[in-house]
Amino acid sequence: NAGVTQTPKFRILKIGQSMTLQCTQDMNHNYMYWYRQDPGMGLKLIYYSVGAGITDKGEVPNGYNVSRSTTEDFPLRLELAAPSQTSVYFCASSVPGTKTGELFFGEGSRLTVL
Amino acid sequence: QKEVEQDPGPLSVPEGAIVSLNCTYSNSAFQYFMWYRQYSRKGPELLMYTYSSGNKEDGRFTAQVDKSSKYISLFIRDSQPSDSATYLCAIPYNQGGKLIFGQGTELSVKP
């Protein structure tokens, strides 16, 4: 079991470029999430999905898009990258209906926008 | 006021010390409280969770909730250098699995 796998681990973008952060999980979890983590700011929810074909905005969705065509994959698209999107991005998954909210995280993708 | 607040530290202690990590929250309806541990350049992992008020112990770790003051704590006894990590409190706010995270406290345990 690989768990949650994110690619790439590191990326440098120029302002205005676009890219997709990939996330795949092999635990057959219905729920998946994208968070960003900035120093001293904790984790902020960008988008989440409760199943294939269903996505919804989190706390900080501006500048991002997602899709969920399969249970396993939940890519995050950055359009017109801006310096404010420099951050560490974490994909996570969870089992639906759990009250305790245990999320399983990937190792993160570090993005720098210059 | 943020829904969950946590002192970001950093906190540095000698090996063997008792560590106290704390968060406050604003919504009295919250019932589950979680602590995640995040090693450097890794994703967070669930360490412990508690329900409502009271204590929960797991080895050297104790999670405590005081709902009357909206205060949650994580105590680490006999701290070890391997405990050096960032500790994040987290609260689920619906059954969709969405969590509100504190800012995280960076802990360093010196040998």
Higher per-residue pLDDT: B99 or A91: A91
The separation between CA A110 and the C-alpha centre of its own chain, rounded to angstroms, equals 12
Q: How confident is the model at residue A103 (pLDDT cuts 50, 70, 90)?
A: very high
Average pLDDT, chain B: 93
Q: Residue B59: CB partners within 8 Å, gap ≥ 6?
A: none
Q: What is the pLDDT of residues A57-69, one digit of tens each?
A: 999 999 999 999 9
Question: Please, how many CA atoms are within 13 Å of residue B4, restricted to the half-sphere of its CB?
Answer: 28
Dmax (CA) of chain B: 41
**pLDDT for residue A5:** 98
Residues in chain B: 111
What secondary structure letter does DSSP report for B94? S
Q: What is the pLDDT of residues A4-48, one digit of tens each?
A: 999 999 999 999 999 999 999 999 999 999 999 998 888 999 999
| Residues B36, A65: Cα–Cα separation, whole Å | 27
**pLDDT for residue B9:** 85
Q: Is B45 in contact with A105 (Cβ distance < 8 A)?
A: yes
Q: What is the pLDDT of residues B75-94, one digit of tens each?
A: 999 999 999 999 999 998 87
| Residues B33, B52: Cα–Cα separation, whole Å | 8
Residues of chain A with C-beta less than 8 angstroms from the C-beta of B11 = none
Residues of chain A with C-beta less than 8 angstroms from the C-beta of B104 = 40, 42
Chain A, residues 20-49, CB within 8 A of chain B, namely 31, 33, 35, 40-45, 48
Q: Cβ–Cβ contacts within 10 Å for residue A42, how many?
A: 23
